[in-house]
Amino acid sequence: MVIVMDNFQVGDIITGIVTGVESYGIFLSFGENSCGLIHISEISDSFVKDVNDYAKVNQTMQAKILSIDSSGHCKLSLKAMEEHPKVSSNHIIETKTGFQTLKEKLPEWVEEAYSETEKM
């Protein structure tokens, strides 16, 4: 079942006004009667130390609607709006030597590491 609220639905990019900034996320108001939370985990792929670095009250910002619960509150995301490159598992091409170089160098690296630990 798709919940539609103020003509918004999951997957829409909305523009809203920041109504609150807490340590756990950003509250947005958008449309006539719509609101939602951008949880700290949905702000960035990088570590977010302080939510206040990303939003201020009364600031206008965009977010993507991830879900809408039965009471009409939206789960929003900033990082879901970013384009992420697709990683293909078929992209790895084995060389003719394969792991041969690693096999040759590993004993040398182990000996170097062992020598360094003996010096300590």
Which pLDDT tens digits describe the chain residue by residue (120 residues)? 444 455 788 999 999 999 999 999 999 998 888 899 999 999 998 899 999 999 999 999 999 999 988 887 899 999 998 765 555 556 566 666 666 777 788 888 888 888 888 877
Predicted local confidence at residue 93, as pLDDT: 65
What confidence score (pLDDT) does residue 3 get?
Answer: 44
pLDDT at 92: 60
How many Å apart are CA 58 and CA 73, to the nearest integer?
19
Burial code (b: 16+ CB inside 10 Å, e: under 16) for 87-100 equals eeeeeeeeeeeeee
By C-alpha distance, which of 90, 81, 92, 86 is closest to 11? 81
Residue with tokens 């590491």: 113
Q: Amino acid letter at 73?
A: H
Q: Write the secondary structure of 81-115 as one string of H (helix), E (strand) and C (coil).
A: HCCCCCCCHHHCCCCCCCCHHHHHHHHHHHHHHHH
Residue 1 is predicted with a pLDDT of 40
pLDDT of res. 28? 95
User: What residue ranges define each of the domains in the chain, with the CATH number in brackets?
Assistant: 13-81 (2.40.50.140)
What pLDDT sits at residue 88?
56
Q: What is the pLDDT of residue 6?
A: 59
